[in-house]
């Protein structure tokens, strides 16, 4: 099995997140009574579904994504069809957008996925490099990465809300308890998100590896990442923080940005790709 080490690490972090979910549900049952467990279960599921549906719609709307014309972009459509055949998956919807920088992202799941490619990326990359980027995005859909990330974010939110209410109700229900509960909820959510971000970084390595497998080499995607990194310098991105987590490339910043990064360092990704 390819990248078994990465998958084991993702499984380990996923287990920790599930433990946080159980703890959050336990807090809710303590607050509202054990008879409330059906409402807690249904409520958490609906919360995750809501985040997934709204997040997908907002990500496409935020970049002004438009449907990719099959005649104008026939080469890209053919590339996607070929890779989807290799992956044994349905062809996702293809869209194009002006993002201000060369980039691409995928959202949705198998059978209802969407791949968005920026016009800047199409102009920048050679055909085999663009194929590598597309294969990477299709791998995210194939691996159900978007759903995994939404579930992780939902667990962080649920656990944070549970801690907030637990702190608020443990005191005298005055303004100080409300403020303390709010702060505790935010800090708790940020702590759980560190594990979610770890999964996000692992999934980028896995998608890179899968892309290299399906196109036969990691070199085209490695060159693409180099061009994207250099091509993004000095340009103003129209991609918001929420969408940048889905993109193939997210700009690097200071220490805090690196701690909360959704992507591993580009140099490490390129090094791994060239070793495949």
- Cβ atoms of 251 and 99 within 8 Å: the answer is no
The yes-or-no answer on residue 131 being catalytic is no
Contacts for 43 with CB less than 8 Å, ≥ 6 apart? none
Residue 235 CA: distances (Å) to CA of 120, 161, 262: 11, 38, 20
Give the separation between CA 220 and CA 226, rounded to whole angstroms.
10
Active-site residue, selected from the candidate residues 137, 219, 236, 267: 137
Residues labelled catalytic: 137
């Amino acid at each position: 099995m390819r990248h078994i080490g990465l998958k084991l690490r993702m499984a380990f972090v996923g287990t920790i997140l599930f433990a946080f979910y159980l703890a959050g549900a336990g807090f809710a049952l303590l607050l509202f009574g054990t008879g409330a467990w059906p409402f807690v279960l249904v409520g958490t599921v609906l919360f995750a579904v809501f985040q997934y549906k709204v997040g997908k719609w907002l990500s496409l709307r935020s970049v002004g994504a438009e449907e990719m014309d099959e005649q104008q972009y026939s080469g890209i459509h053919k590339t996607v069809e070929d890779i989807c055949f290799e992956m044994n998956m349905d062809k996702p919807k293809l869209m194009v957008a002006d993002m201000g920088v060369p980039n691409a992202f995928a959202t949705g799941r198998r059978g209802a996925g969407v791949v968005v490619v920026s016009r800047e990326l199409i102009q920048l990359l050679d055909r085999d490099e663009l194929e590598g980027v597309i294969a990477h995005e299709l791998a995210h859909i194939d691996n159900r990465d978007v759903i995994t990330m939404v579930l992780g974010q939902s667990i962080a939110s649920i656990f944070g809300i549970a801690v907030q209410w637990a702190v608020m109700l443990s005191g005298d229900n005055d303004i100080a308890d409300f403020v303390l509960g709010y702060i505790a909820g935010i800090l708790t959510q940020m702590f759980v998100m560190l594990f979610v971000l770890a999964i996000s970084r692992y999934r980028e390595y896995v998608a890179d590896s899968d892309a290299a497998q399906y196109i036969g080499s990691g070199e085209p995607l490695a060159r693409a990442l180099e061009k994207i990194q250099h091509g993004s310098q000095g340009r103003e991105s129209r991609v918001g923080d929420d969408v940048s987590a889905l993109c193939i490339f997210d700009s690097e910043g200071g220490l805090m940005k690196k701690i909360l990064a959704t992507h591993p360092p580009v140099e490490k990704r390129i090094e791994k790709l060239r070793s495949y």
